[in-house]
Structure 1
Amino acid sequence: MNAPDKGAAVTGRPEAIKAVPVRHPGRWAGAVVVAVLVAMLLHAFLYNPRFKWDVVGQYLFDDSILRGLLVTLELTALSMVMGVVGGVLLAVMRLSRNRLLAAAAWLFIWVFRGTPVLVQLVFWGFLGALWPKLSIGVPFGPAFWSENTNTLIPTFTAALLGLGLNEAAYMAEIVRAGITSVDEGQTEAAHALGMSRFQTMWRIVLPQAMRVIIPPTGNETISMLKTTSLVSVLALEELFQAGQLIYSRNYQNIPLLIVVSLWYLFLTSILTVGQYYIERHYARGANRTLPPTPVQRIRTLLSSARRSPAAAGAEPVPASGGEELS
């Protein structure tokens, strides 16, 4: 008998692959438990009359709440600017070859990180008890100008100093970690091209260090937004203090606390989205594929939901035969 021709074409359709999905009973059990807990929580929030949602809606956009919200935003923005600028300067001083500058930066960070921010706020509020007047003049000599301390440092300025200087100590360590994460070869190459230390730091090191600096800085900004509530000890009417003043008059403690919490949640959500896009921007040089934006994720979910009914009724796809697998 003649051997079969090896070049003969294979006839007939190959057998379809019967894929059996892997079952995950633990995931379904966990999902059911979480769904039940969420439903119980929503029921408790919606049907417990003690939450008094009508009072929450009444004071959500109250003039006092909005004024306190504006003060909170001002404190957050100015404190973070002070903290970032001061943190960069302190980090550069810590990495300086001048031992006096490095020691001064270390001492500042040690003091402001080692004491509670609440204590620092109260200290700045009572600074006039130590120095009733602040003067400018010749060191250890006559003064050319002086002013009452409480006039020069009002309540808002005292709160800003307490928050900003404390934040500078934390930002110094964040910036220092980002700077040290850049390979030393980058600095050596910049010096070989004739760049000064300032040019190397500004143009070469800091742009590359931003990928390490941005994520914790975003967390610090969100934390600062909530830390501003501590300035209520200085009788500064920010968001939390505004809520306290209202419920001290009408005794609606829980509804006013919910109002304040809703505003904090709204603001932190905005900051979280902004942090995500900033991190995505600085990840362009490190990642080949950027992570999807929230809008892109929603589009992907909607498109997959549209395709799922058609895919569920589709016939099995053959493993070979020149057709493209879906």
Structure 2
Amino acid sequence: MTFDWEYFWQALLAPNQSFLNGLALTIIISIVAMALALVLGLVVALMGRSRFLPLRVIASLYVWIIRGTPLLVQLVILYTGFAAANIFRFEDLSVGFLIKGAVQAAIIGLMLNESAYISEIVRGGLESIEKGQTEAALSLGMTPLGSMRWIIVPQAIRVMVPPLGNSFNGLMKSTSILSIIGVAEMFQVGSTMASSTFKAFEIYIVVALYYLLLTTIWTVIQTAIENWLNTKAGLPKAESIWKRLFGMRSKRDRIAPKNPIAALEGAAA
């Protein structure tokens, strides 16, 4: 068995239409699922901070169940289990274009799974802001909603962006298991090509490189967003893209501070 370099370069640089369709579907599912997860995660986080005990209990149970069970199991239950139990069946939907039932289940499954983690990110971001700022805003006559909108959330967003960006990276890679419910995303198309051409090693390396390309592009976008938020807040810019991707540090970063307290503060940062 030899590595077919010609086939590898062709598949990498000039992928066929099926592979491009799978790549496009991976991107679309990732973006739509993340957008919906952000909304649901925010709702769950606010429920968890509610004064009403039933809402806090529901939010806690939701996060506990979703975070405590594998995404693969959730997808199978959602798409196959519910249909077998005659609870709900995902049917193909036409809204000017066809959305297959498996794609709908994939988006909802990823949304539900990711929203549980996002709710914890949002909760941590909101709680990172000192309560005194809320009290000061209320003492100035602002409503609780107004203080949240104008005082707390703008500061918390800067804290939440890095973990939210990492969550999106993880979500994009998680789309590789959607083949279990028949979604023709990039990994599923690659598997089909590998089966028909017997070029499994070549194809899976190509698939891995395309996933790497997607996550790298998002890392660049995420770094730009973080730098923009830091600039607006009058703070130093985040790590450069080279430092974030390859761990390249400047000479100043490599010099350990003489003050041990400064060293501990740098490690904590």
Give the TM-score band, short-chain normalised. Answer: 0.7 to 0.9
Cα distance in 2, alignment partners of residues 236 and 52 from structure 1:
28
- Taking only aligned residues, the RMSD between alpha carbons, in angstroms, comes to 2.3
The residue that corresponds to 1:22 in the other structure is none
Paired position in structure 1 for 2:174: 227
1:183 equivalent in structure 2: 130
Aligned residues: 236
Whole-angstrom distance in 1 between the partners of 2:92 and 2:163:
36
Q: Does 1:59 align with 2:11?
A: yes
Alignment gaps of 5+ in structure 1: 1-48, 134-147, 296-326
Moved over 6 A (4+): none
Counterpart of 2:231, as a letter, is R
Structure having the larger proportion of residues in helix: 2
Equivalent-residue separation in structure 1 for 2:74 and 2:213 (angstroms) = 28
TM-score normalised by structure 1 residue count: 0.68
Identify the residue that residue 83 of structure 2 maps to in structure 1. 128
CA distance in 1, matches of 2:77, 2:166: 26
Aligned to 1:249: 196
> 1:132-172 deviations in whole A, cap 9, x for unaligned?
55xxxxxxxxxxxxxx6545781111111111100000000
Residues 1-326 of structure 1 aligned to structure 2 (within 5 Å):
50-60=2-12, 61-126=15-80, 127-132=82-87, 149-150=90-91, 154-284=101-231, 288-291=235-238, 293=240
For structure 2, the 5+ residue unaligned runs are 94-99, 243-269
Task: Tell me how far apart the structure 2 counterparts of residues 222 and 84 of structure 1 sit (CA, whole Å).
Answer: 14
**Which amino acid counterpart does residue 77 of structure 1 have in structure 2?**
I
Report how far residue 224 of structure 1 moved: 0.6
The separation in 2 between residues aligned to 1:116 and 1:291, in whole angstroms, is: 33
Q: Distance between the aligned counterparts of 1:195 and 1:231, measured in 2?
A: 46
Residues 63 and 116 in structure 2, CA contact (< 8 A), matched pair in contact too: yes
Per the normalisation by structure 2, the TM-score is 0.81
Alpha-carbon offset, residue 287 of structure 1 = 5.3
Question: Considering only CA atoms, is the larger Rg found in Structure 1 or Structure 2?
Answer: 1
Q: State how far apart, in whole Å, the 1-side matches of 2:17 and 2:44 are.
A: 40
- Counterpart CA distance in 2 for 1:291 and 1:226 is 24
Deviation at 1:259, TM superposition (A): 1.2
Identity %: 39
